[in-house]
Structure 1
Amino acid sequence: MRLDMMDGRQRERPAAGLLAMVLLRVLLFAEAARAFYIPGWSIKSYSDGEPIPLLVNKVYSDNTQLQYAYSELPFVCPPSGRNFHGSNLLSGSSISLNLGEVLRGDRIMVSDYELIMGSDDEGHYLCSKEVDRASLGKAIEVVRDGYVAEWIVDNLPGATKFVSTDKTRKYYAAGFKMGYTDFSSESGRPRYFINNHFTIVIRYHTAPGKDGQRGKKVIVGFEVYGKSIGASNRNETGLPADVESPQEGMELRITPNKTHDTDDGPRYADSSYVPPEEEQDGGDESDGATLTIPYTYSVYFREEEGLEWGNRWDMYFVNQEDSSKIHWLAIVNSLVICGLLTTVVAVIFARTIRTDIKGYRESGLEDGKVKLRRSKTRSPRKSGEAGSGLLDPLGGGEAGKDIDGDLSSDDESIEDMTGWKLVHGDVFRPPAYGGLLAPLVGSGTQLIFMAVGLLFLSCIGVLNPSYRGGFVSVGVALFIFAGVFSGYFSGRVYKTFGGQRWQKNCLVTATLIPGLLFATIFVLNLFVWAQASSTALPFGTLVALVALWLLIQLPLVYVGSWYGYVYVGAWEHPLKTSAVPRQIPSPQPWYASGLRSILIAGLIPFLVIFVELLFVFKSVWQDKSGYYYVFGFLAVVSTILLVTVVEVAVVSTYAQLGAENYHWWWRSFLTGGASAVWVFAYCVWYYAVKLKVQGFVSGLLFFSYSGLACVVYGLLTGTVGFLASYAFVRRIYSAIKAD
């Protein structure tokens, strides 16, 4: 007994030691995690005298789609490469970015601006930048096009403070102007002034918890105000003599050299004439003339007692809260349209279909067999056996077997059969070009998973503006992971259509939509790269995207396709397909065929979302800071949209079957995605009326990315319409199946 007890104690000691080791590692990991600052989640506190890095990002404008890295502008102070008070940050060093930040054009770098917590600096000289005529032309372009600069402190973008229209609330507008345009009172020509003095205001609050007890502070606001101060309004140290009301701004102009020598002698020597283009740009780029732009800044720290760290982003959205009434109007509008459609669908299900099925069962059931009269309008098959190519009409396999099912020409006919009941032997006949429809449906399910995941994570606060680039990064990750669902649904639909070459279907599914997206981005990247814009993706990023596509997504699509096609197999239909296709009555009603009816059906889902689209477009194309935050409204409208697409697809399919037209597969998909055509038309209207975009490349970027977004939207809603119609057809024909 004693030996057993000793053995038991010896066995317990390793277990206890293992448990202690696990707990120790957990504590060490938790302690190490406290040393890291996770933007948007961890609170970073500063002690008095501690340096605060100021990061420069990019400049962007509402008048163009081209962005530029701030540090690469030829007229700003270049980084000196020095460190900050013993910290490991060197000015000019780039900050590592996630994939979303790179895709949205961010290029973040440590600057030379010195911010010391709690220490005001009323005047600090940064540098004097000497610019030639080419660099001056770039500065004029940036000021003329209304570019806004984005700086970052403690993950907060630099902002300009404004007062709401009722003067009761303050709010932030992200970014600050690079300069301003004035007009000469004499000639009426525009004059461009660059902001070369920046007043930086850091608003802080006492840190919560033990850090606050130790006197540490957290940053709750970052404001930047730019001013243009001429060189003549500065002292010998380069600091401005009067910051509040400078007498003269820093004009971007080099005096034209009227006596620049030519082969024929002095140019304009005997005349006061100067060409307008030379007076604007400063003259000939080869004359060696330069302009010196001095840069200075001031720093002020102010305590903000009424604003906690957890609510510091609210200042960026105060002005947008005024639009909440319009968001509610969008929801009411969507609910009204969806409610009317729901009533129509309820009538179809509760009265029409139920009555038809009840009468059909009462008159057509005998001895457990469904007895139908054979149609006299049968026509023999016009083509041979269907091939197995991806673009060939699919008709082979289990779904297309030559079976009469429960039909019998000797049975007594049912004279009162009309509409959708007459096509019971053809309703599950595989569609033409099913090898293309299956990959589209698979890609649509992939996009559905990605969209639902993004909306869910945004609504619960995981994806928020403080997680810079997170929306795009997580979206790409969800899209790649959802390749499993894409392959599964594509494989099962392909097997249901009777397809035989599932590996080729898998390859098409994995390359059709991702290949289209990558090819478009690659071509557009060439145009943007030619403009030296930060929107151009680096070569390494393109290689990473290809690797994610071919090395991760493609295998996932293959696994999903194998599971859906080989392991699970095709969906079983409640009725067998007849041997001879039924001839479709001609002419068909307008609502059962033609592009016009599809577009009319697609107009209804568009009416559900067009109000909310205005806010989405404004956030994407105008407020390029990308701080769209009303994901709760967007989730509600999106849910109503999906319900509307389901109902429109079901009503359209029922109307088509009622016209004895059993080619509903493609039509259900096109009906669900038809609202994408209206969304693109809305994009054209928005470009012509709302935007002030200039230049060929900017217009190309707008319409290309808008077209891609509409394709993605159309695939998503088209897949919803297809799956809803398929479930609806299976349901109503299951009800008339013989017991």
Structure 2
Amino acid sequence: MALTVQVRSWSFTIWVLLVSTCQSFYIPGYSVISYEDKEPIPLLVNKVFSDRTQLQYAYFDLPFVCPPTGQRHGDSTFGSGHSISLNLGEILRGDRIMTSDFELVMGQDVGCRTLCTREVNRKDVKWGRQLIKDGYVVEWIVDNLPAATSFVTVDRSRKYYSSGFKLGYQDYFPADGSSRFYIHNHFTIVIRWRKAPGKAGDQGKSVIVGFEVYPKSIGLENREQDGCPTDVRAENSHLELFIAPNNTKLEQLYTDSSYLPQRGEDADDGATMEIPYTYSVFFREEKSVEWANRWDLFFTDQVDSSMTHWLAIINSLTISGVLGVTVIVIWGRTVQGDTKGRGDGVMEEGKAKTRSARKSQGAAEDDSGEGLLDQQSKGEAEAESPSDDELEDVSGWKLLHADVFRLPVHSGLLAPLVGSGTQLLFVAVGLLILSSIGILNPSFRGGFVTVGFGLFVFAGLFSGYFSGRLYKTLGGQQWKKNTVLTASLFPGLTFCLIFVLNLFVWAQASSTALPFGTLIGLVALWLLVQVPLVYAGSWFGYVRGAPWQHPTKTAAIARQIPKQPWYLRGANGILLSGLIPFAVLFIELLFVFKNLWQDKSGYYYVFGFLSVVSTILIVTVSEVTIITTYSQLCAENYHWWWRSFLTGGSSAFWIFAYCIWYYMFKLHITGVVSSLLFFSYSFLACAVYGLLTGTVGFLTAYAFIRRIYSATKID
């Protein structure tokens, strides 16, 4: 048996190494868009976002940018300002993609072209200064590529991209301690292209492999009649986003006083300023980048960190390997003890019989002067009689054969939680597989969330089945009530949380808020699609499926549980056991958190490493649960049902604690609403993780206990 487990362990290790070498690739799209010379290229505007706040805003909602004119450009059937249809994932991530008035024609450079001159008041200027202070970044899209800010490495050997470009910049003057804010009002657009692959290239068509934007702030001086700067490349003055205070009326009121109150800079007195917007377009051929690899420049930093990911995998394998050896030892002891034929029913009697036999044997020797057994018989008797160590070994978990399957308290809640956990497990596995093989990739904007939501709705079948069958196993009678609870527990609580958060985001007029129609659509999918699927799965699990059979019968009177060691008492053992899976996941969490909260303009796409670490995590959770459950049974405590579930999901507590530490020491989030969104999203993510790993822990412990008690013959 141990040899078989070792072979499986080696097979798993080899599989991990093979998957890791594959890392993750991506299918860059389902069709290549090629352009002929002088063919118009649409430029789409999306939103502005910041790493310091969770609030995003649609680009055309900003009062200081050029509004859409509604004119058609090129062969477009829609005028500027037309909303592009979005998938569910794009809506949930705050995208608001619209057509713009930028005119890009394939192969035609433009030195300078006027976009508009926008007049803004003090209120608009104040908001713009705040957005610049918070480091907001603008996102435009050309040929499904986000506008990129180009950087080079320190040794200038490689180039890499960061999605988006700054809305403006802030200068600090230490002499008077003041700050000045400058807005970017000229955009140099660089389109990098190459010959299209296949027949399209033979026809003279081209594909876009790069979209770079270099913003610049140019003052009002030295401009042509059309509004363009005289020399775009020269060192021009910068355009400060500022309207000087107007104290004329105050001077009239206080003509005879030496005291003159200062009017606030943001006072609404009708004062305005003009912001001229211009842009340049340049097309440059790029032969070193293939169309299929045009996203690679966004992943340069993640490729450079591959060594850290390998260290994370080695660390995870080491922890999981040590726990695996412990599980093998435990399994070997239980199986070896069973093959010796010692039954639990005779265990207590064995001690008494052994003692009485020894007493009677000693008395007979004293009376007759000679032993009742010869030397050989003595050896056989000593071999048959269990030693003190062996008796101590079987005096723990085997004593619980009549209580180990006693129904837990609140069993009506355990089944829906396990059902929801299996649903989330199916979603997580599906997303990791689809991402690792490249079906979900950055070119499929919002695809990760959209596909994940679809998998979640479909997985209602699994949720209902496992919940219904476990509910029947636990002796439940009202399976329809259990179905409703399963279908509404996690989705209902999640929807309520999102709806409450939406109220705060709506008040901020942020694009992060879900439209009312989207909320209605989500409720319709939940009630009209998922609930029937959960009902169907629950019907198969409860009505058509048989309950899981337990190998031992439960006694009428419950056994008294002795005093437990400190590490098995209450929440102590649960929280301590959660540290081990957290240690497995810790290093990879650094990259996930950095991408989600600090570098939202980037793209996390090392799903090959994440899949391997997640697989090791599931194995580790199973191993930890087996070890803690076995220790609990040896301490003659048969309340393992809820404890196995909580042990499996206990690492979620440490992940949430890590979120708090990350917020305090790594992030610079400003605003109450942004902080509320951070902690709410973190809590929701930890709840999903806890349900998933808790279900893995429970199912592992349940299978382990059924196996060891079914292999043991109880006399």
TM-score by length of 1: 0.86
Please give the per-residue CA displacement for 1:414-447, whole angstroms capped at 9, x wherever unaligned.
9764000000011111111010011000000000
- Partner residue in 2 for 1:400: none
Question: How many Å apart are 1:594 and its aligned residue?
Answer: 1.5
1:640 aligns with 2:645: no
Hey, what does 1:604 align to over in structure 2? 580
| Cα deviation code 1:271-325 (max 9, x no counterpart) | 78746xx3xxx3421x110010000000000000011110000011112222111
Q: Deviations over 1:458-483 (max 9, x none)?
A: 00000001100000000000001000
Aligned to 2:517: 540
Q: 2:432 maps to what in 1?
A: 455
Matched residue type, 1:620: L
Of 170-179 and 81-90, the range deviating more from structure 2: 81-90
Q: Secondary structure at the match of 2:213?
A: strand
Q: Whole-Å Cα distance in 1 between the matches of residues 670 and 174 of structure 2?
A: 27
Match of 2:335 among 354, 357, 362: 354
Equivalent position to 1:649, from 619, 625, 639: 625
* Counterpart for residue 100 of structure 1: 89
Task: Using the TM superposition, give the Cα deviation of residue 185 of structure 1 relative to its aligned residue in structure 2, in angstroms.
Answer: 6.0
1:66 to 55, 65, 68: 55
Residue type matched to 2:253 in 1?
Answer: G
- Is 1:660–2:636 an aligned residue pair? yes
Map of 1:32 onto structure 2: none
Match of 1:318 in 2: 300
Paired with 1:668 and 1:522, the residues of 2 have a C-alpha distance of 32
* CA distance in structure 1 between the partners assigned to 2:465 and 2:256 by the alignment: 76
Tell me the CA shift for residue 214 of structure 1: 0.8
Alpha-carbon distance, 1:625 to partner: 3.2
Say which of 518, 531, 536 aligns to 1:554: 531
Query: In the alignment, does 2:284 pair up with 1:302?
Result: yes
**Pair 438,596 (structure 1): closer, same or farther in 2 beyond 3 Å:** same
* SS of 1:57 mapped into structure 2: strand
Q: Distance in 2 between matches of 1:283 and 1:567?
A: 70
Cα gap change, 1:125 to 1:415, in 2 (>3 Å): closer
TM alignment of 1:325-474, pairs within 5 A: 325-350=307-332, 352-359=333-340, 361=341, 363-364=342-343, 417-474=394-451
User: What does residue range 154-165 of structure 1 map to in structure 2 within 5 Å?
Assistant: 154-165=143-154
Q: 1:58 to 1:433 in 2, by over 3 A?
A: same
Secondary structure of the 2:305 match is helix
1:692 matches 2:671: no
Give 2:267's match in structure 1, choosing from 275, 284, 298. 284
Deviation, structure 1 residue 371: 5.1
Match of 2:649 in 1: 673
Q: What is the CA-CA distance between 1:184 and the residue it aligns to?
A: 3.6
Query: Which stretch shows the higher mean deviation, 133-142 or 466-475?
Result: 133-142
Using the TM superposition, give the Cα deviation of residue 259 of structure 1 relative to its aligned residue in structure 2, in angstroms: 1.5
1:233: Cα distance to partner? 3.4
Equivalence for 2:481 = 504
**What is the rounded CA distance, in whole Å, between the counterparts of 1:618 and 1:310 in structure 2?**
26
Larger deviation: 697-706 or 569-578?
Answer: 569-578
Secondary structure (helix, strand or coil) at the match of 2:113 reads: strand
Letter in 1 for 2:288: G
Structure 1 residue aligned with 2:549: 572
Contact 1:233–1:248 (8 Å) recurs in 2: no
Contact 1:61 1:145 in 2 (8 A): yes
Rounded Cα–Cα distance in structure 2 between residues aligned with 1:607 and 1:335: 11
Question: Per-residue CA shift, 1:303-350, capped at 9, x if unaligned?
Answer: 000111100000111122221111111111111111111111111112
RMSD (CA atoms)? 2.0
Q: Does residue 1:119 correspond to 2:119, yes or no? A: no
Q: Please name the residue that 2:690 is paired with.
A: 714
Residue 699 of structure 1 deviates from its aligned partner by 0.3
TM superposition shift of 1:255: 1.4
Give 1:268 shift.
11
What amino acid maps onto 1:717 in structure 2?
T
- 1:218 aligned to which of 207, 224, 230: 207
The alpha-carbon deviation at position 626 of structure 1 amounts to 5.4
CA shift at 1:267, angstroms?
8.3
Cα offset for 1:183? Answer: 2.3
* 1:186 Cα offset (Å): 4.8
Residues 574 and 737 in structure 1, CA contact (< 8 A), matched pair in contact too:
no
Q: Is the 8 A contact 1:592 1:661 kept in 2?
A: no
Q: Output the amino acid matched with 1:418.
A: S
Partner Cα separation in structure 2 for residue 328 and residue 243 of structure 1 = 47
- Greater mean alpha carbon deviation, residues 237-246 or residues 517-526: 237-246
How far off is 1:269 after superposition? 8.4
State the AA in 2 paired with 1:629: Y
8 Å CA contact retained: 2:648, 2:694: yes
Equivalent of 1:110 in 99, 105, 119:
99
Question: 1:470 is aligned with what amino acid?
Answer: G
2:471 is aligned to 494
Residue 536 (structure 1) shift? 0.4
Worse-matched range after superposition: 235-244 or 41-50: 235-244
Equivalence for 1:49: 38
Aligned residues: 650
* Contact preservation (8 Å) 2:335, 2:711: no
Equivalent pair of 1:591/1:655 in contact (CA under 8 Å)? no
Q: What is the aligned counterpart of 1:149 among 138, 147, 168?
A: 138
CA contact (8 A) 2:126 2:266 kept: no
CA distance in 2, matches of 1:592, 1:375: 29
DSSP 3-state at the match of 1:232:
coil
Secondary structure in structure 1 of the residue aligned to 2:302:
helix
Counterpart of 2:708?
Answer: 732
Whether contact under 8 Å (2:117, 2:275) holds in the other structure is yes
Q: 1:62 to 1:364 in 2, by over 3 A?
A: closer
Asked if structure 2 preserves the Cα contact closer than 8 Å seen for 1:131 and 1:292, the reply is: yes
C-alpha distance after superposition, 1:611-646 (max 9, x if no partner): 100111111112223511000000000000000000
- Separation in structure 1 between the aligned mates of residue 171 and residue 199 of structure 2, nearest angstrom: 52
In the TM superposition, residue 39 of structure 1 has moved relative to its aligned partner by: 8.1
Local SS of the residue matching 2:549: coil
1:76 equivalent to 2:65? Answer yes
- Asked if the contact 1:680–1:706 (Cα under 8 Å) also holds between the matched residues in 2, the reply is yes
Separation of aligned partners in 1, 2:257 and 2:425: 71
Q: Which amino acid aligns with 2:465?
A: Y
Match of 1:613 in 2: 589
How far does residue 162 in structure 1 lie from its aligned partner after superposition? 0.4
Contact persistence 1:164–1:319 (CA under 8 A): no
The structure whose RCO (Cα within 8 Å, separation 6+) is larger is 2
Give the 3-state SS of the residue equivalent to 1:337 in structure 2: helix
Q: Is the contact between residue 193 and residue 286 of structure 2 (CA under 8 Å) also seen in structure 1?
A: yes
Q: Which of 260, 265, 285 matches 2:253?
A: 265
Corresponding residue for residue 477 of structure 1: 454
1:674-701 superposed Cα distances (whole Å, 9 cap, x missing partner): 0000000000011111111011000000
- Is this contact kept in 2: 1:259–1:268, CA < 8 A? no
Summarize deviations over 1:492-516 as a string: whole Å, max 9, x none. Answer: 1111111110100000000000011
> Which residue identity does 1:678 align to in structure 2?
W
- Deviation track 1:530-550 (CA, whole Å, cap 9, x = no partner) reads 001000000000001100111
Distance (Å, rounded) in 1 between the aligned partners of 2:408 and 2:347: 24
- Distance in 2 (alpha carbons) for counterparts of 1:244 and 1:268: 51
Amino acid at match of 2:479: W
Query: Which shifted more, 105-114 or 328-337?
Result: 328-337
Q: TM-score when scaled to structure 2?
A: 0.88
In structure 2, stretches of 5+ residues that fail to align are 1-26, 352-389
3-state SS of 2:524 partner: helix
- State which drifts further: 315-324 or 171-180: 315-324
